[in-house]
Amino acid sequence: MKKVILLIGTLLLLLPLMLSAQVIHSDNFSTLGEWRAGYGDWKILAGRLVQGDASTGLARIDRPLNVSGEYEIAFTIRYLGGGYKTEEDLKNLSLHAGFGIHIAVDKAHLGKAAWGNGRSYLLWLNLDTRKETMAKHPEHYGFRAQVYRSTSNSRMALVPEMNVDIAAALGTNLLDMMAYVQQAGFLSKDVPIRIRVNTNTGRIMVNDPSNAQMWFYFDLPAANLKGNYVSLRTNGMSAAYDDFSVVRR
């Protein structure tokens, strides 16, 4: 009897947590399911969603997602290849690659290549160490966390105040950061990505993959965060995704 009472008490304590985290979607990628490729070499390999074209700059895949309030998107990503055009570029650390996720897409450009993706926001991680970028577009040089606002399938622009030089923000230099990323094994393992979106307040929270307790946040117009799709995207790299889920907080 005491064990039953203890069990009931434990369940009552856990009930608020269970009620506050409702699973909306969970994709283990045994099949593509509701995902639809827009551009790139998207396929299921060994239970993972893989974008296999390491050269394309517009790879994108979309899935329906209509959720409001506060929710969390989680998935893992693993680097498979790409980021440089020649072995000489790799030797000289002349690199360019990126990946990200479109949130709150109102009308996805289903089955087609596009620069933007309806009205949405693209949360983007970009590595660009090319000399020509430093000379012509220094705002994109280095390892950066960026936010782009898409207003149509052909119009998308960087939000200037949301363009963070990660190495500078952490008080280090780019070469040391790249060495740390390599030594920590981020290029050879599944990296967990967690993003929380609050459509009521406009707050976006992004978890630090190296520290589950650390979150970074910024604010977007709440009125622009109500959409019908979410999209994964890569540029100049091949990647494998797994364990995609959406949970209402």
* % of the chain at pLDDT higher than 90: 84
Tell me the C-alpha distance between 229 and 63, whole Å.
Answer: 6
Please state whether the predicted TM-score (pTM) of the whole model is above 0.85: yes
Task: Report pLDDT digits (tens) over 87-143.
Answer: 999 999 999 999 999 999 999 999 999 999 999 999 999 999 999 999 999 999 999
Residue with tokens 């907080």: 249
Q: pLDDT tens digits for 138-192?
A: 999 999 999 999 999 999 999 999 999 999 998 999 999 888 888 888 888 999 9
Quick one: pLDDT band at residue 6, thresholds 50, 70, 90? very low
Please choose, from the candidates 32, 18, 93, the residue with its C-alpha nearest in 3D space to the C-alpha of residue 63.
Answer: 32
Residue 1 has pLDDT above 90, yes or no: no
Tokens (6 digits) for 233: 């995207």
* DSSP code of residue 75: E
Contact in structure between 50 and 43 (CB atoms under 8 Å) = yes
Instruction: Please check whether residue 127 is in contact with residue 159, taking contact to mean a CB–CB distance below 8 angstroms.
Output: no
Report the alpha-carbon distance of residue 203 to residue 40 in Å, rounded. 31
In this prediction, residues 16-28 reach a mean pLDDT of 74
Length of the chain: 249
DSSP annotation of 85: S
- On average, the pLDDT of the chain sits at 92
49's tokens = 């969603």
Amino acid at 148: Y
The residue ranges of every structural domain in the chain are 22-248
CATH number belonging to domain 22-248: 2.60.120.560
